[in-house]
Amino acid sequence: MDDYNSETDSDYASYWRDWFISTRGHEYFCEIDEDYLTDRFNLTGLQPEVHYYQYALDLITDVFDFDCDDETRESIEKSAKHLYGLVHARYIITTRGLQKMLEKYKKCDFGRCPRVLCRSHPLLPIGLSDVAHSKSVKLYCAKCEDVYSPKSSRHATIDGAYFGTSFPHILFQVYPALIPPKVNERYIPRCFGFKTHAMAALARWQEEQRANQDRRLLEAGVEVRRVESETIGDDSSSDDAS
């Protein structure tokens, strides 16, 4: 909260959401409408997950009026951040929330895909789990359909549950015109301009799979037996002789 020390306590209480959105590291979040926050139906099930739930909600909705010590105030502020994040995951899949996140997506507020062949396509935040405190937020590219870690350490510590596992996919279902064409271009390994031998790569993969299978059989106590096949050279020589 040090970034806001220049303001008075009353100013801070009056503009908590403005402060939260404008704080460095919170660029992925959009502002939740007050009407959504004051509708208790939208907050169903969140009270057991947030300590100081009512005080945290009062702080977010700018009606906080509780005289407490600094330690308690800090705990309430922490709970308010957590509550805002949990509500945020629900809000961004509503019509209004999708519109706000769409504007941020168009401005590339979430960054661009680091994959070279995606040509800097915009990213969207996504969680790998809907359970809080389990996975940090990742960035989803709709072009290569893969996820990446945020570049900034401030963003890398955001809880992925504050965005949920479904948000990007719901966004593209609502706005199908935004779905980019799939990437057909793939990097081709080359040596001195020549493609590496595909059959050689396949043979290496097959040998690796065979070795792994042999290991699993041995661990299970099954004897591994191989039938030696005749060489192609011998078959061809016998055919020539005939």
Q: What is the CATH number of the domain that holds 64?
A: 2.20.25.20
Residue 87 lies in a domain: yes
Confidence of residue 225 (pLDDT cuts 50, 70, 90): low
pLDDT at 1: 36
**Tokens at 133, concatenated:** 């405190």
**Tokens at 161, concatenated:** 């549950």
Average pLDDT for 46-62: 93
Between CA 108 and CA 102 the distance in angstroms is: 10
Between CA 109 and CA 91 the distance in angstroms is: 18
Residue 239 lies in a domain: no
pTM of the predicted protein model: 0.74
Sheet holding 138-141, edge to edge: 124-126, 138-141, 146-148
Backbone angles phi, psi at 50, to 5 degrees: -125, 120
Number of domains making up the chain: 2
Are both 206 and 105 inside the same structural domain?
Answer: no
Are both 82 and 202 inside the same structural domain?
Answer: no
pLDDT at 237: 44
Are both 22 and 66 inside the same structural domain?
Answer: yes
Residue 123 lies in a domain: yes
Q: What are residue 76's DSSP bridge partners?
A: none
**Tokens at 121, concatenated:** 């396509």
**Tokens at 192, concatenated:** 């001195």
Are both 123 and 216 inside the same structural domain?
Answer: no
Is the pLDDT at 10 greater than 70? The verdict is no
Are both 104 and 197 inside the same structural domain?
Answer: no
